[in-house]
Every structure is written in C-alpha cells, then in structure tokens.
Amino acid sequence: MNEPNLEWEKLSFSYTKTDYNVRCTYKDGKWGPIEVSDSEYVPMHIAAACLHYGQESFEGLKAFRGKDGKVRVFRMEENAKRFIRSAEGISMQPMPVELFCEMVRKVVKLNERFIPPYGTGASLYIRPLEIGISAQVGVAPADEYMVIMLVTPVGPYFKNGFKPIKVCMSREYDRVAPKGTGSIKIGGNYAASLNAGQKAHELGYSVMLYLDPKEKEYLDECGAANFFGVKDNTYITPDSSTVLPSITNMSLCELAKDLGMKVERRQIPLSELETFEECSACGTAAVCSPIGRIDDLDNGKVYTYGEEGKAGEMTTKLYDALRGIQYGEVPDEHGWCEIIEFDEK
C-alpha cells in the first residue's frame, strides 16, 4: 500500500483529498447500487432542490486505527439513525440503516491508506451527506436523492488539541428557532450559524456558546458540539429540543456513570455557570474540548474554570476513557465499535 505523503501529527480538521468516495441514488422509488467514484465533483441539475431550497443533511463519524492495528468505526448505527431523522425532518427520503453502514464500510476500506497510524492522534473523518437532486422550482420536496460519503484524515478540531478553549455567549445570535430544526443535522443550521461563528473568531474566541432561542435563559450548545458541566461528581448536560443529540455526549454520559459519576440531563440555567467545576464541549470533531473561560458579551460577565491551560480532572478522565475505546486501548465494554475487516493482502 502506497503511503500518502502526509504529516499525520500535523493534520488539522480540514479537507485532504483521498482516493475514492461512494454514492447511492434514490430514483423511481428505490435506492440503487453503491457506486464508487474517484471524482471530487457532483454533476447536478441547475434546478436541484438542494441548491434552491436547502434539501441537504449530513453526518460526521470517525474511523480509528487502533493500538492492535485494527480499524474501528465508532457507533455508526447511531449516525445512521440520526441521518434518518434528519432526512425525515426536511421531507427527504431516509436511507435504511444497513445501507448506510454498508456505505461506511466500503468508503473506509477503499481509502485504507488514508487511515492515520495509531499514536498520531489523527483519525479518518467520514462525512455522509444527502441531497435532493431532482429539478424543482416550486417549493416542494425532490423525488430523487443522492447520498455521498467522503472521507478525509483529520487532526484536532480546535487548534490547540486538548487545551482549554475560550468561548463567548451573545443574545444577538440564534443558531435555530424554538420549534425549528436544531435537533437534526441539516446544512441550513450551519449556514445560519456562520455569522455568529465569524463574530466569535473575530473577537478571539473558539466558538459561540448558544443560549436557548426562546427564553435565552438556559444553555443550549457550543457551536458544532454539545455542552456539559461537571460539579459534585455529577455530569450535567442540557435537555433541550433545540440542540443536536450528540452521539459523543450520549457516550460520555455512559462513561461518566462507569466512572461513578451521577448524570443529569436537564435544563441548565445561565446562573448555574458559576457553580461548575469544569465545563466542556463535546462532539465527533471536538471529541471532548475543555472550556477554560466563558465570556458573556452582553453584560461583560466572565466565568473561568480550572487552572490556566489545563483540562480538569473529570474531563481528562472522560476524554481518556472515550479515546481508549476508540483506539482499542481498553476493552469496548459497551460494544460501540465495529472492526472493519480488510481483505488479506
């Protein structure tokens, strides 16, 4: 196998061209075969529903090369189920779980040489997406859809890796509406978050921490990641209909219990921020990124957590437990990883 000329340790969370992507089209009421492509482009009708009315959803999951050399994909059935919910949320054709998983296995195998070696801290990010492709001028769902899965090797989402980040809050920005699309993973939510993200970056923050869009009294989520706080040996994460149910967060809740912590999923009023011992953002890309400081841009309040530049004790334990399972360093007691079988060479 020809090793790509990449500095694995130096990878950031960005796009690197790989060998192949896989595609599957829904047409005439059924899903077609999985097709392999080496093109980075999609020919499309100029009136395709995704281009005009935003019929697009996506997912994000990772494959890891483990300590034992095996390749593990983390909880892909959960991504497949969320992909269905996202499709249904914007009237697209949902892809069956088994077909989704087949596409994941195939795209990982086809790009084996881009799966970063163990010990580099990098992984292979898998990005499934679905688009409405049939021509549509009236506002209505398409009747043809395409699912594409591409992969790209990635490093840390936040540039300093597992170092505390600085985030900000502002009542001037909402990512989603109170009864909108926050709990599904569609491109439109991310388009709507770009100005807020740019604002946060301009002011020197990693990301915007969103408040609930209705009352602006409770914490929602942290850019493209969920939020959790820790106090009194308890893991506390928002229960909100406007956040994306994170698979990483769901897993960390289980790992927190394994570590003997209590877990609370409930509304978190802003006033509780000053009572947390640790705070963190979590997601596939973000993994578990400790938050060192939160600035409320509207009233100048500043909340700080832990020692400068250092992740808190429980956040570190949770991060290690999750990474340990993903990289095959500790037994996968919950059965979260699927080992990808490669053909003998």
The interaxial angle of helices 97-110 and 76-89, nearest 10 deg, is: 120
* 185 is annotated as an active-site residue: yes
* 283 lies in the binding site for ligand COI (CB under 6 A): yes
Please give the Cα distance from 148 to 24 (Å, whole number). 7
Residues 87 to 146 in contact with ligand PLP, rule: CB under 6 A: none
253 to 123, 263, 264, 274: CA distances (angstroms): 23, 6, 9, 22
The correct pick among 18, 93, 284, 289 for binding ligand COI (CB under 6 A) is 284
**What does 122 interact with, of ligand COI, ligand PLP, none (CB < 5 to 8 A by kind)?**
none
* 255 lies in the binding site for ligand PLP (CB under 6 A): no
Please give the Cα distance from 327 to 115 (Å, whole number). 12
Residues 151, 114 contacting (CB under 8 angstroms): yes
The interaxial angle of helices 76-89 and 247-258, nearest 10 deg, is: 140
Please give the Cα distance from 344 to 81 (Å, whole number). 31
Site string for ligand COI, 201-240 (x = CB under 6 A): -----------------------x----------------
Q: Which is nearer to ligand PLP, 153 or 283 (CB)?
A: 283
308 to 165, 188, 229, 232, 322: CA distances (angstroms): 10, 36, 17, 21, 24
* 181 lies in the binding site for ligand PLP (CB under 6 A): no
The number of helix segments (H) and strand segments (E) in the chain equals: 7, 18
* 142 lies in the binding site for ligand COI (CB under 6 A): no
Q: Output the furthest CA–CA distance in the chain (Å, rounded).
A: 62
Q: What's the N-to-C CA distance of the chain in angstroms? A: 9
Task: Give min distance, CB of 283 to ligand PLP, in A.
Answer: 3
The correct pick among 170, 226, 242, 289 for binding ligand PLP (CB under 6 A) is 226
* 285 lies in the binding site for ligand COI (CB under 6 A): yes
- β-pairing, 234-238 vs 262-266, is parallel
* 136 lies in the binding site for ligand COI (CB under 6 A): no
Q: Give the interface segment with ligand COI, choosing from 26-34, 164-172, 281-289, 292-300 (CB under 6 A).
A: 281-289
**What does 92 interact with, of ligand COI, ligand PLP, none (CB < 5 to 8 A by kind)?**
none
Please give the Cα distance from 141 to 4 (Å, whole number). 41
* 60 lies in the binding site for ligand COI (CB under 6 A): yes
* 189 lies in the binding site for ligand COI (CB under 6 A): no
Tokens for 253, please give them: 């809740």
Task: Give min distance, CB of 223 to ligand COI, in A.
Answer: 8
Q: Which is nearer to ligand COI, 207 or 321 (CB)?
A: 207
Please give the Cα distance from 207 to 304 (Å, whole number). 16
The correct pick among 246, 280, 315, 326 for binding ligand PLP (CB under 6 A) is 246
* Residue of 166, 185, 199, 262 marked active site: 185
**What does 55 interact with, of ligand PLP, ligand COI, none (CB < 5 to 8 A by kind)?**
none
* 73 lies in the binding site for ligand COI (CB under 6 A): no
290 to 116, 137, 244: CA distances (angstroms): 24, 46, 19
Site string for ligand PLP, 58-87 (x = CB under 6 A): --x---------------------------
Residue ranges that bind ligand COI, judged by CB under 6 A? 60, 224, 283-285
Residue ranges that bind ligand PLP, judged by CB under 6 A? 60, 221, 224-226, 244, 246-249, 283-284
Residues annotated as catalytic are 185
